[in-house]
Each structure stands twice: as structure tokens, then as C-alpha cells.
Amino acid sequence: MVFYRQTLLEFGFFAVTRIVTIWLGKSFLKSMPLNTYRSLLRVDVKSAKNLKDTDLAGKSDPYAVISFKDREAAPKSSRTVTIKESLNPIWNTTFFFLVSDDCKHFKVELFDEDFGRDDSLGHCNVLRKDPGERTTYSGEEYYLEKGKGGTIDISTQEISITSGLDYLLGTRKAAIEKFIASKQRPPLALLEVVIHHCEGLKSGWIDKSDPYVKIQFEHEPEGAGVMPKDLKTRTIDNNPSPIFEEKFHFMIPDSLKSMRLSVWDEDPGRDDALGHCTVMLKDYMQKEDRKKYALNLKGTITVSYVRIPLPPLFFD
Ligand SMILES: [Ca+2]
Ligand SMILES: [Ca+2]
Ligand SMILES: [Ca+2]
Ligand SMILES: [Ca+2]
């Protein structure tokens, strides 16, 4: 009787949610997966010349901010250190960003650090290179707009990660091995996670689960977070053993030692947890073979990952 009532309740809920789902439209209910970063961009902010003096005593104290439009890059912005009392500052700083195909340019704005609000020293837009020229390291001096005068010297280079890190492990093998052998610890590593599939997830009798997987990181060190945050797979409807085969890329702090995978049942209201597990990240590996992990509630998830230091992908 209890079973019957449970089934009837479940069927009622199932019918109502399905009607609501159809009524609102599937695409409205499903938020887009954020797995859109296809390239790794290196930006070198070298130096600026003939900046405007905006301080009454002494000279301007310049720093540069690189920023992208929403969702076009992770991190969305980065800044150099401040060079005190200089109209011709030299930074020679390298930044890395994961960028999406939508990205057409980024903005570089210079500021004078002050006690109150910082003064703008002008900005420029750096156009993304044509696909055929992206892998070449090159740059130029950009004039600062808004009539403030001065120029800034910026160089860029890109590596495509569309086909995955296997390709890079081949082409950059010597540089990566040399770097690992030198025992240097870079601030950032590149992590590729492949969510292959789940098996035997928790599921209703009539309304089967509609699973998706979230990738998260715990114990992030202060000031050096994982980029991008909280990526997830697409949702596979009505299937307790879904096959995803989706690939994700993250820039992670070198010291990060684990990631958390959680599986969720997408519902029109609040999504239900289907279980989670923690994957310990081994130190730099050429490749970690696919492995099956037990979820805390029911079923398993099969994943693989590659974790490599960032600098040797660009430097020999
Ligand atoms: Ca000032
Ligand atoms: Ca000053
Ligand atoms: Ca100042
Ligand atoms: Ca559901």
C-alpha cells in the first residue's frame, strides 16, 4: 500500500513536472553549460611611455588592467603591480587567460594609483589576432585613447585547447619534461577533466533521473582561485547511466590537490543531489587513465584528467 501510494505520488509529480516542462519549453529550463573556453591566451604587458602626469606632487603611479567582456575569458580581468612615480613604467608581466571563441578583443586600461579614486590614464583595445596568426608570439605599441597621450607595449600568443591536451603533451613534450625535471613550482597549472559517464545512479521508478555533473574545487588557496568556477556538463534526460564524454579546462593553483564531482538530477524546481565524490589530483602526470569512482549515494562516475604546468606550454 505504501509502495502504491509512493508510486502514485511520484506519477502525479512526474505528470505535473512534465507538463510544466513542455509548457515552458525545455531550453528555458536548462541553463547553458559553461564549457566554452577553447584557447589559452598569453598576454605580456611590457611597458608604457609618455604617460600623463596626474599627480600634483611627484609623478603618476601607473598600473594596467586587462579586462574581457562577460563570459569571454577566465579570469575576466587581471592587473599589473603599481610602479611608483613613473611616466615610463616597465612591467614585463605575463598573464594567462582561458578564452572563448566569442572573444574578439580585450581592453587594457591604465590608471594612476592615488589615495582616493585612481585617475584613468587612458585605454586601448587589443584586437584578437586572426586564427592563422594566433600561435605566433608578437605585439605592438598601442596609443592610449581619450586624449591622455602615451603608448603601451603589449604582446600576445595563443594555444588552441580545442582538441585537448593530448596534442600539447606531444608537441610540447620536451619543454614540459624539462620544466618538471627542474622542480620549479609555477603559480598555475592547466587541468583538463573528461567526464566520461555515470552508471547506476539513484533514480525514480517512473520518473527517471535527468543527470548532469558539476565540477568544483575545495580548499582553494587565498588569492589564487580556480578559473573558471563551477563548470557543468549538459543534462541527459531520463537516464540513470548517462554518457557525457565532455571535456573541461581549468587554470588551477599549483598547490590544489583535489576536485569534487557532484551529480544532480535536473528538475523544474530545485535539482536533487544524486551523489558526489572527491578526486585526488596527483602531481604532474603525462596522463591519468580513466578511473571509476563510487558516489556517496549510489552508482559510479568515470573520469580522467591531465594536469600540466602552464609556463612550458609557451616557453622553452
Ligand atoms: Ca593622481
Ligand atoms: Ca605619485
Ligand atoms: Ca598617484
Ligand atoms: Ca528530474
| E-state strands within the chain | 37-49, 62-67, 73-74, 77-79, 90-100, 105-112, 119-127, 138-143, 151-160, 188-199, 211-216, 231-232, 243-253, 258-265, 272-280, 288-294, 300-309
* Ligand 1 geometric centre to CA of 94 (Å): 26
* Ligand 3 geometric centre to CA of 61 (Å): 5
* Ligand 2 geometric centre to CA of 74 (Å): 32
End-to-end, the C-alpha distance of the chain in Å comes to 71
* Ligand 4 geometric centre to CA of 266 (Å): 5
* Ligand 1 geometric centre to CA of 52 (Å): 10
State the pLDDT at residue 186. 75
* Ligand 4 geometric centre to CA of 21 (Å): 10
Grade residue 128 by pLDDT with cuts at 50, 70 and 90: very high
Residue predicted with more confidence, 288 or 117: 117
* Ligand 1 geometric centre to CA of 121 (Å): 9
Lowest-confidence region among 34-48, 67-81, 178-192: 178-192
* Ligand 1 geometric centre to CA of 17 (Å): 59
Grade residue 89 by pLDDT with cuts at 50, 70 and 90: very high
* Ligand 3 geometric centre to CA of 140 (Å): 27
CA angle 145, 88, 115 (to 5 degrees): 80
Ligand with an atom nearest the CA of residue 58: 2
Domains 37-160 and 163-314 share a fold: yes
Q: Where are the domains of the chain?
A: 1-30, 37-160, 163-314
Q: Does domain 37-160 have CATH number 3.10.180.10?
A: no
* Ligand 2 geometric centre to CA of 114 (Å): 7
pLDDT above 90 covers a percentage of the chain that reads: 57
Grade residue 205 by pLDDT with cuts at 50, 70 and 90: confident
Residue predicted with more confidence, 163 or 27: 163
State the pLDDT at residue 68. 96
CB 209 within 8 A of CB 298: no
State the pLDDT at residue 30. 46
What residues does the ion ligand 2 have nearby, CB within 5 Å?
55, 58, 61
* Ligand 1 geometric centre to CA of 11 (Å): 67
Q: For the segment 215-263, what is each residue's pLDDT rounded down to a tens digit?
A: 998 766 555 578 888 789 999 999 999 999 999 999 988 888 889 999 9
Provide the H-helix boundaries in the chain: 2-24, 26-29, 165-171, 173-181, 311-314
Ligand with an atom nearest the CA of residue 236: 4
Residues 6+ apart with CB under 8 A from 10: 204, 205, 206, 207
* Ligand 3 geometric centre to CA of 95 (Å): 24
**How many C-beta neighbours within 10 Å does residue 238 have?**
11
3-state secondary structure of 251: strand
CATH code of the region 163-314: 2.60.40.150
